[in-house]
Structure 1
Amino acid sequence: MQAAILKFEKLLNENVNHFPTLSTEVLEAKAAGKWSKKEILGHLTDSAIHNLVRFTEINYLEKPYHHRPYNQIDLVNLNQYQIMDPDELLQLWLVLNKQIVRLMKSVDEKALDYKIVLSDESVIDLRFLMTDYVEHLEHHINQIKS
């Protein structure tokens, strides 16, 4: 888990200063059927919101924990990330992720083995979900940086 946390912190630290260097035109440019870089950051914000809830709830709800999916496209559209102030969006994304880092650093070792049932009935554990969150974040950050 420590490696995932270090990678997570590095991603946050590197990109909190990089994102503001991107022009509005670059952030808002869209290809047909694709999200803009700004909308990708919005998607990462939605992901942070939902995963913060998951990472927290698993500690006190009945086990196994049942993972609730969310409609990513609808959320990006409903939250209007394309027209949101880029600095506000960046701060929202950053603060949510700093809280997730705090939670990951303090999670009980036994809790990492808590079982999570996905919508397709497959089973993972909290360790996998947290590590996968960092990988997902890295994937989308690379899209923003390209």
Structure 2
Amino acid sequence: MQNAILKFEQLLNENASCFPEISSEILESRIPGKWSKKEILGHLTDSAIHNLVRFTEINYLQKPYHHRPYNQIDLVNLNQYQQMDIRELTQLWLSVNKQIIRIMKSVDEKALEYEIILSDGAVIDLKFLMTDYVEHLEHHINQIKS
């Protein structure tokens, strides 16, 4: 878990100041059927919000925890990330992720083994969900920076 946390902190530290430096033209350009780089950051914000809820709820809701998916496309559109100021969007993304890091650092070793049932019936644990979150974050950050 410690490696995932270190990687997570590094991703935030290296990229929080980078995103506002990208030109609006690059951030907002879209490939048909795809999100813009700004919308990808918005998707990462939505992901952070939902995962913060998951990472905290699992500690007090009945076990096993049932993972609830969310409509990623609708959320990006409804939150109007394409029109949002990049500094404001980056700050929102950063703030929620800093809270996730606090949760990850304080999670009990036993809690990392809590079972999570995905919507397709597959079973994972909290440790997998947390480390997968960091991998997801890295994947999309690389898309924004490319």
Give TM-score, length-normalised by structure 2: 0.99
Counterpart of 1:94? 94
Counterpart of 1:79? 79
User: 1:18 deviation in Å?
Assistant: 1.0
Code of the aligned partner of 1:31: I
Per-residue CA shift, 1:44-75, capped at 9, x if unaligned? 00000000000000000000000000000000
User: 1:20 deviation in Å?
Assistant: 1.4
**Same amino acid, percent of matched pairs:** 81
Runs of 4+ residues deviating >4 angstroms: none
Give runs of aligned pairs for residues 1-146 of structure 1, distance below 5 A.
Answer: 1-146=1-146
SS of 2:116 mapped into structure 1: strand
**What is the alpha-carbon distance in structure 1 between the residues aligned to residue 17 and residue 67 of structure 2?**
33
SS of 1:133 mapped into structure 2: helix
User: 1:128 deviation in Å?
Assistant: 0.0
Per-residue CA shift, 1:4-55, capped at 9, x if unaligned? 0000000000001111110111110111011000000000000000000000
**What is the alpha-carbon distance in structure 2 between the residues aligned to residue 43 and residue 124 of structure 1?**
23
SS of 1:17 mapped into structure 2: coil
**What is the alpha-carbon distance in structure 2 between the residues aligned to residue 119 and residue 48 of structure 1?**
19
Question: Which runs of 5 or more residues in structure 2 are unaligned?
Answer: none
SS of 2:31 mapped into structure 1: coil
**What is the alpha-carbon distance in structure 2 between the residues aligned to residue 136 and residue 6 of structure 1?**
15
Code of the aligned partner of 2:37: K
Code of the aligned partner of 1:122: A
Give TM-score, length-normalised by structure 1: 0.99
**What is the alpha-carbon distance in structure 2 between the residues aligned to residue 66 and residue 56 of structure 1?**
13
